[in-house]
Structure 1
Amino acid sequence: MERQGYGILALLASVLAVSGLVFADIAPHVADYIVLIAGAAGLVAAIVHRDAILAVRPWWMLLLALVCLGLTLPFVYRGSTDLVPILALAPFLVVPGVAFLLAQNQPLLRPFSLPLLCLFGAIAAALLGLSEYLATGIARVEVGNNPIHYGGIAIVLGFMALTGICVGRSPWRVLFLLGPIAGMLAAILSGSRGPLLGGVAMAVVGMPILLFWYRRDLALVLTVVVLALGALAFGLTSGSSMRALSVFGEMTQALGAGGPSPTPDVYRTAMYQSALQQFLASPIFGQGFGQIMETVRVAHPDLPELATLEHMHSDIADFAALGGLLGLLAYGLIIAAPLANLRFGKARSTDRVVALGSALLATGYLFLGLTNAMFGVLPQTVLFALLLGYLIALRRNTDSLSTPPR
């Protein structure tokens, strides 16, 4: 009976992984619900078995982030809307459940299994986006999602597929480089600057790491160099790179430091300015989520479209305004949680998968969150929880923290 129980958990892990990665970008909410239900079941099982997965540092960092946000409530609470950030981050609770489930399915923890699913997800997103563009000619492809969310999820999946390069020595590993290509194609089709910026940041972090680790693998080095030169040529000859870099111009303008913005977005600049002002007005506890957008609208009656927005379209701006220093501390803990998986001085392929995946996950969400809310939006939050759970499970499997069930 016990073996049958673990078999059910292993099956749940397969459903969770395939749904949450392959369908994350093309049927996000269906995938989200499957991941959350399966992760909750895994969490219950982990608690029942008192599994060591409940003591991992990344999860406790996420819990501490929720505590930080909770500490602001007595000082900012004016209504139920102020509870939204904590409720929106509740998917973090299933992280150890996801890790526990994956730990019961050893084939999924082979270092190439999850990267392959990420690759399938990114390619599916790019192909469906290209199909939508060819069929409709729409300027911002969305594949049934919000364009910036579509592009951001595809970028994360595409670059997380890179971790498959860390497995073995087969020349076929270069196929995992199709992940970033598919992700960037989806980002371009989405017409959104944030995913492009996030992709560039993940490339700047991930590619040098791969080149350093595999500097003696001539085929891999040449492939990466050719792709990098092609990406550079594209960036210099198109407006995409300038649109992505304009994010920093808007932020420096909001901070009062000047700086040109080739394609300024007055709405984003107004929100960034308001976030700074709200932070300075209440630097410890912030204003509370229910108040931040009303403050922006009152300050900018000349921008009527602000009335349709629910947040400031920037994780840093949102956390700073709604929670002050405690909010920024919570945000820092969330971004840093994957890095708690890092371990130095090891050369095994699984260690490299964990190291590269952790660095890419933290970098991607940091830069994608500059121009849009990532944490608190269900698809992006659940994807973060799933990928972090996978990295925890892989690290656990490598370290043999506990005896696997028989």
Structure 2
Amino acid sequence: MLGLTSVCVFLFSALALTISSGYSFGAVGLLLASIYLLWKRPRLDLQRRDYLLIATLLLYFSVYAANMLYHGDPMREFDMPVRALLAVPVLLLLLAYPPRAAAWWSGVAVGAIAGAALGLWQLLILHVDRPDGSASNAIHYGNVSILLGMLSLCGLAWARQQRHTLAWTMLLIAGGMAGVIGSIVSGSRGGWLVLPVCVCLFASQYIKGRRKHLLPAILAAFIAIAAVVAYALPESLVRERVEVAVDDVQKFNQTDNVTTSIGQRIEMWRTALILSREHIWIGLGRTGYLAGKKILADEGKMDRAILEHTNAHNDYFDALVKRGLTGLATLLAFFFLPLSLFARALRNSNSNSRPYALAGVVLYSCYPIFGLTTSSLTLNIGIIMLVFPMVILWPLLRQHERAA
């Protein structure tokens, strides 16, 4: 079982951006393997922290599914919350049979490198304006790319403890840089917001008067410098996207222009706030949200340019307008309760468990930022790349805590 869980964990990240729905191979493998628990019934020794994580996943599923059924939304909407439910047996499986650490760290690094290579090929050879790898769109490709890159850098402390330290270190550094490159070529500006946050996390974790931990801090500084250089270069994709963003904001401020990317986002956020006031506690559901938008458009209170969008392009506004304050509170718990558990583990961690606690903090710091400019949890790649890394990292963290 150890070999099977390790292979599935590696494939989950390694194929995430290079094959259509590549993350599903590892995820489905882990889910099918969890059936083994019904027959073997191993002793899990669950702690209060484990129950809290399971409760968070079940709460998100329950509130989302109940709201969907209450509002009579299409059954295909059930696809999203069920991913959180299916992550529960995978968490139990991995608590019983934790994968090899090398499978996780090599998977995220290979996934970031392969994803960046595909993005560069699409940009330089196919001349795609905004490469999207094998993801559904450039935004999610860029976000997952930078996430895999930042997760790779979390493993540098683990690499120093391995027999082939240099090889592992170079692989994880390559994964970190590739993740940033993939995000840059995608032109997904929202994902770039996580860079300063991750740099601060790495710096605060590694600069503590210990020379042996200077490498990740130096690398964090290098990423910050690389971001500045990427903006300053002639014909820079970064500068071009930033200038477009500034121009979009100016057009919206001066003429209420909603034909631009940012203009449409602002109009979607404004519309979601207007509609959410009518059913503040339980929201309108997807069906009611789309019907409400049509009424506003017919009354001339909303621009028709955003009529076909099925979400608010912001996780928080989308939860508010579709599921009300109840849904928004559930989303915040879904983000920040696991973050608090990983952060507490990071404060109390030993050298062996620290990389997994740090990776958990990075994961749950990135997603709330991604959700500011896109509805990251409305697509399979969005929610799967949140809940499955969590249910992989947590058992690895618990395993290394027990070993210490």
Does residue 306 (structure 1) correspond to residue 299 (structure 2)? The answer is no
Pairs within 5 Å for 1:83-94: 86-94=78-86
Task: Identify the match of residue 125 of structure 2 among 109, 130, 135.
Answer: 135
Matched residue, 1:371 = 373
**Residue aligned with 2:282, SS:** coil
Pairs within 5 Å for 1:236-255: 240=238, 243=241
CA distance in 1, matches of 2:96, 2:62: 30
CA distance in 2, matches of 1:179, 1:90: 30
Matched residue, 1:327 = 327
Whether the aligned pair in 2 keeps the contact of 1:91 and 1:381 (CA below 8 Å) is: yes
Matched residue, 2:198 = 202
Letter in 1 for 2:325: L
Whether the aligned pair in 2 keeps the contact of 1:151 and 1:195 (CA below 8 Å) is: yes
Shift of 1:51: 3.3
CA-atom RMSD, angstroms? 3.6
Matched residue, 1:283 = 280
**Residue aligned with 2:124, SS:** helix
After TM superposition, the structure 1 stretch with the greater mean CA deviation from structure 2, 83-92 or 325-334, is 83-92
Q: Go from structure 1 to structure 2 and tell me whether the alpha carbon gap of 1:44 and 1:219 turns closer, same or farther (over 3 Å shift).
A: closer
Q: Go from structure 1 to structure 2 and tell me whether the alpha carbon gap of 1:201 and 1:19 turns closer, same or farther (over 3 Å shift).
A: same
CA distance in 1, matches of 2:30, 2:199: 32
Letter in 2 for 1:284: W
Structure 1, gaps ≥5 residues long: 1-8, 402-406
Matched residue, 1:404 = none
**Residue aligned with 2:313, SS:** coil
Task: Identify the match of residue 79 of structure 1 among 72, 86, 89.
Answer: 72
Matched residue, 1:229 = 225
Whether the aligned pair in 1 keeps the contact of 2:119 and 2:131 (CA below 8 Å) is: yes
Deviation string 1:355-398 (CA, Å, 9 cap, x unpaired) is 21121111111111112222231122122122111122113213
Deviation string 1:95-127 (CA, Å, 9 cap, x unpaired) is 343334444655x343x5412210110000001
Letter in 1 for 2:311: H
CA distance in 1, matches of 2:267, 2:156: 42
CA distance in 1, matches of 2:119, 2:266: 29
Whether the aligned pair in 1 keeps the contact of 2:17 and 2:115 (CA below 8 Å) is: yes
After TM superposition, the structure 1 stretch with the greater mean CA deviation from structure 2, 354-363 or 26-35, is 26-35
Whether the aligned pair in 1 keeps the contact of 2:194 and 2:369 (CA below 8 Å) is: yes
Q: Go from structure 1 to structure 2 and tell me whether the alpha carbon gap of 1:130 and 1:99 turns closer, same or farther (over 3 Å shift).
A: same
Does residue 38 (structure 1) correspond to residue 30 (structure 2)? The answer is yes
CA distance in 1, matches of 2:328, 2:244: 24
Pairs within 5 Å for 1:98-177: 98-103=90-95, 108-110=99-101, 112-145=102-135, 146-167=137-158, 168=160, 170=165, 174-175=169-170, 176-177=172-173
CA distance in 2, matches of 1:295, 1:142: 32
CA distance in 1, matches of 2:143, 2:196: 12
CA distance in 2, matches of 1:248, 1:16: 43
Tell which has more relative contact order, 1 or 2 (C-alpha 8 A, sep 6+): 1
Whether the aligned pair in 2 keeps the contact of 1:250 and 1:269 (CA below 8 Å) is: no
Whether the aligned pair in 1 keeps the contact of 2:2 and 2:100 (CA below 8 Å) is: no
Deviation string 1:190-237 (CA, Å, 9 cap, x unpaired) is 122222223443334344323348555444444433332232333456
Scaled by the length of structure 2, the TM-score of the pair is 0.81
Letter in 1 for 2:13: L
CA distance in 1, matches of 2:243, 2:324: 27
Does residue 211 (structure 1) correspond to residue 207 (structure 2)? The answer is yes
Whether the aligned pair in 2 keeps the contact of 1:35 and 1:386 (CA below 8 Å) is: yes
Structure 2, gaps ≥5 residues long: none
CA distance in 2, matches of 1:41, 1:90: 18
Letter in 1 for 2:193: L
Q: Go from structure 1 to structure 2 and tell me whether the alpha carbon gap of 1:138 and 1:72 turns closer, same or farther (over 3 Å shift).
A: closer
Does residue 64 (structure 1) correspond to residue 59 (structure 2)? The answer is yes
Shift of 1:89: 1.7
Whether the aligned pair in 2 keeps the contact of 1:315 and 1:374 (CA below 8 Å) is: yes
CA distance in 1, matches of 2:6, 2:103: 11
Pairs within 5 Å for 1:17-56: 17-32=9-24, 34-42=26-34, 45=37, 48-49=41-42, 51-53=44-46, 55-56=50-51
CA distance in 2, matches of 1:248, 1:85: 35
CA distance in 2, matches of 1:245, 1:198: 19
CA distance in 1, matches of 2:200, 2:240: 17
Does residue 274 (structure 1) correspond to residue 265 (structure 2)? The answer is no
CA distance in 1, matches of 2:263, 2:347: 47
Does residue 398 (structure 1) correspond to residue 393 (structure 2)? The answer is no
Shift of 1:141: 0.6
Matched residue, 1:385 = 387
Identity among equivalent positions (%) equals 21
Q: Go from structure 1 to structure 2 and tell me whether the alpha carbon gap of 1:222 and 1:382 turns closer, same or farther (over 3 Å shift).
A: closer
